[in-house]
């Protein structure tokens, strides 16, 4: 671990003027990252001097502890300031300035394609993962009786979309379930067994929003392609959470949000469509026939703000200044810090796979004898900790999702709060 002396030398090298000037920029992050470039991501994950520099890039309310970053994350200052700057610019003469910013979406498209590993003509800019995935779900020609296989643990809005197609188009939707946590082999076998001669589409998460269960995307995509089936992957909780490349996943469609782990503004996401599938897929809103093979036809949604899309570029720059591997290692380090301390308690059950390469910054914990909803209320009422309750017929727990601005003190406060509630029960006001 880097010493305080070496850290201060780094700060001195930057200089007081540089620190002040770059309070909203990337220079500090880049300099800090350069100082740890010769060390493994796992080593850097435990370097509090380094992550203190990253934490300083955010404007936060430290009177509360946000462990629900799986919903949405605060953007670093460099991104939020860019968003406000682009909004101000657009507002001067929207019909003119907004149009100029819309042209700059091509820069974000190019950089997203490079970061996530696909052709630039295979990425459509969307407002979130739900919109991206609904383009694929509603855009496929499916006849009555055609079958879609998904899971009971996919995101609710996506399941609702398939339910509507089932009512409207008389397709068949099969939902498979699985225990949590489980293995990639188990998930693969469950999908393989479920396929019938009527099956046309496999729809599944990259990682679920419930427990962070990781799916064997490449294996499922290869199996589907061999059988002439299409694959739609929900990547809402994967993009910028841990490293991967879309071309290596080999799926047909992939939708994600960028306001989660990439730390981009709200109303940003993207849809990946394999080039050979663009023409066969209808856009969510009508586009002219001349654009039938153009990925941009999926962006025909009327007048929307261009500023959030422009600010994606700053979010990508911030993400890349840290490095995807370092970020993933830090998220895993924070998760293991609380999970390893709580799991020896016989009343605690971790419903996520904590093995290396399976879990990073999202895990679900259950406490025997305490309802998840009451537990989250108690965490908020007494400790001002934000978490979310997951309550299902087959399991329940609280989902814990820290982020790179989360401090060790905040993680340790969460552990202490959980131990207090487990030992002493839910306060009467909450119960």
- Using DSSP, state whether 423 is helix, strand or coil: helix
pLDDT digits (tens, 9 = 90+) for 278-309: 999 999 999 999 999 999 999 999 888 999 99
CA 335, chain centre distance (Å): 15
Q: How confident is the model at residue 383 (pLDDT cuts 50, 70, 90)?
A: very high
Q: What beta strand segments (E) does 304-417 contain?
A: 348-350, 363-367, 385-386, 388-391, 396-400
Q: What are phi and psi of 65, to 5 degrees?
A: -115, 115
Q: How many CA atoms lie within 13 A of 182 on its CB side?
A: 16
Hey, what domains does the chain have and what are their CATH numbers?
Answer: 4-68+323-423 (3.90.1150.10), 81-316 (3.40.640.10)
- Please indicate whether residue 394 or residue 14 has the higher confidence score (pLDDT): 394
b/e map 376-394, b = 16+ CB within 10 Å? bbbbeeebebbbbbbeeee
* Cα–Cα dist 216/211, whole Å: 15
Strand, helix or coil for residue 173: strand
Asked if residue 236 lies in contact with residue 375, where contact means CB atoms within 8 angstroms, the answer is no
d(CA 98, CA 392): 44
Question: Residue 14: pLDDT band by 50, 70, 90 thresholds?
Answer: very low
For residues 406-425, give the mean pLDDT. 97
Q: Residue 310: CB partners within 8 Å, gap ≥ 6?
A: 82, 86, 101, 104, 105, 108
Among 56, 28, 32, smallest CA distance to 44 is for: 32
**Nearest to residue 242, comparing CAs of 219, 217, 272, 274?**
217
pTM of the model: 0.93
Q: Assess whether pLDDT exceeds 90 at residue 18.
A: no
> pLDDT confidence of 99, banded at 50, 70, 90?
confident
User: In this structure, are residues 49 and 56 in contact, taking their beta carbons and an 8 Å threshold?
Assistant: no
Q: For the segment 208-226, what is each residue's pLDDT rounded down to a tens digit?
A: 999 999 999 999 999 999 9
Query: Is it the case that residue 6 has pLDDT exceeding 60?
Result: no
Residue 100 is predicted with a pLDDT of: 86
Q: What is the chain's Cα-based Rg?
A: 22
SS (H, E, C) 199-213: EEEEEEECECCCCCC
pLDDT at 341: 98
Rounded CA-CA distance 336/400 in Å is 11
Whether residue 102 is predicted with pLDDT greater than 90 in this model: the reply is no
What pLDDT, on a 0 to 100 scale, did the predictor assign at position 25? 62
Query: Could you give the CA distance from residue 275 to residue 256 in angstroms, rounded to a whole number?
Result: 18
Q: CA–CA separation, 106 vs 295, rounded Å?
A: 12
Once rounded to an integer, what is the mean pLDDT over residues 359-366? 98
Average pLDDT in the 136-159 region?
98
User: Which one, of 373, 356, 364, 418, lies nearest residue 179 by Cα?
Assistant: 364
Structure tokens at 227: 């059988």
Higher-pLDDT residue of 7 and 113 is 113
* CA atoms of 426 and 414, how far apart (whole Å): 15
pLDDT digits (tens, 9 = 90+) for 57-77: 999 999 999 999 999 999 999
Question: By the 8 A CB rule, do 342 and 415 touch?
Answer: yes
Query: Three-class SS string for 283-336?
Result: CCCCCCHHHCCCHHHHHCCCCCCCHHHHCHHHHHHHHHHHCHHHHHHHHHHHHH
On the question of pLDDT at 15 being above 70, the answer is no
What span, in angstroms and rounded, lies between the C-alpha atoms of 357 and 359? 6
Asked, as a colleague might, if the bond just before 41 is cis with ω within 30 of 0, I would say no
Query: Mean pLDDT throughout 234-242?
Result: 98
Residue 214's nearest CA partner among 149, 135, 153 is 153
CA distance 214 to 240: 15
Which residue has better confidence, 148 or 24? 148
Cβ-contact 258, 126 below 8 angstroms: no
Query: What is the mean predicted confidence (pLDDT) over 13-21?
Result: 39
Q: Taking all residues of the chain, what is their mean pLDDT, rounded to a whole number?
A: 93
Confidence of residue 22 (pLDDT cuts 50, 70, 90): very low
Higher-pLDDT residue of 216 and 24 is 216
Stretch 251-260: mean pLDDT = 98
- Do you know the residue count of the chain? 431
- The DSSP element (H or E) to which 256 belongs, if any, is strand 253-257
| Positive or negative: CA dihedral 416, 65, 334, 356 | positive
pLDDT at 1 over 80: no
Angle at 384 between CA 380 and CA 390, to 5 degrees: 40
The pLDDT value given to residue 429: 63
């Amino acid at each position: 671990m880097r010493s305080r002396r070496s850290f201060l030398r780094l700060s001195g090298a930057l200089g007081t003027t540089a620190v002040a000037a770059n309070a909203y920029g990337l220079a500090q992050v880049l300099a800090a990252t350069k100082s740890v470039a010769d060390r493994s991501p796992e080593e850097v994950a435990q370097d509090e001097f380094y992550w203190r520099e990253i934490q300083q890039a955010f404007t936060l309310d430290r009177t509360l502890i946000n462990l629900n970053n799986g919903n949405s994350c605060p953007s670093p200052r460099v991104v939020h300031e860019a968003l406000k700057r682009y909004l101000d610019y657009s507002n001067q003469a929207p019909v003119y300035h907004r149009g100029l910013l819309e042209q700059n979406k091509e820069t974000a498209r190019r950089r997203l394609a490079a970061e996530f590993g696909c052709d630039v003509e295979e990425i459509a800019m969307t407002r979130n993962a739900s919109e991206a995935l609904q383009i694929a779900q509603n855009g496929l020609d499916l006849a009555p009786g055609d079958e879609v296989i998904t899971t009971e643990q996919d995101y609710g809005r996506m399941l609702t979309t398939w339910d509507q197609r089932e009512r409207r188009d008389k397709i068949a939707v099969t939902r498979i379930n699985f225990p949590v946590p489980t293995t990639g082999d188990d998930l693969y076998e469950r999908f393989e067994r479920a396929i019938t001669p009527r099956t046309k589409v496999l729809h599944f998460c990259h990682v679920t929003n419930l427990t962070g269960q990781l799916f064997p995307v490449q294996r499922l995509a290869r199996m589907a392609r061999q059988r002439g089936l299409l694959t739609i992957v929900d990547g809402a909780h994967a993009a910028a959470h841990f490293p991967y490349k879309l071309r290596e996943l080999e799926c047909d469609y992939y939708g994600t949000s960028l306001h989660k782990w990439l730390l981009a503004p709200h109303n940003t996401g993207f849809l990946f469509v394999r080039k050979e599938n663009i023409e066969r897929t209808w856009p969510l809103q009508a586009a002219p026939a001349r654009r039938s093979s153009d990925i941009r036809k999926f962006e025909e949604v009327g007048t929307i703000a261009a500023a959030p899309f422009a600010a994606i570029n700053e979010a990508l720059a911030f993400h890349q200044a840290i490095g995807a591997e370092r970020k993933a290692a830090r998220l895993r380090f924070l998760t293991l810090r609380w999970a390893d301390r709580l799991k020896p308690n016989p009343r605690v059950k971790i419903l996520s796979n904590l093995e290396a390469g399976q879990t990073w910054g999202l895990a679900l914990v259950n406490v025997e004898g305490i309802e998840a909803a009451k537990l989250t209320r108690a965490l908020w009422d007494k400790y001002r900790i934000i978490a979310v309750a997951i309550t299902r017929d087959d399991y329940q727990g609280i989902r814990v999702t820290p982020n790179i601005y989360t401090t060790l003190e905040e993680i340790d406060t969460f552990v202490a709060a959980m131990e207090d509630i487990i030992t002493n029960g839910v306060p009467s006001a909450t119960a």
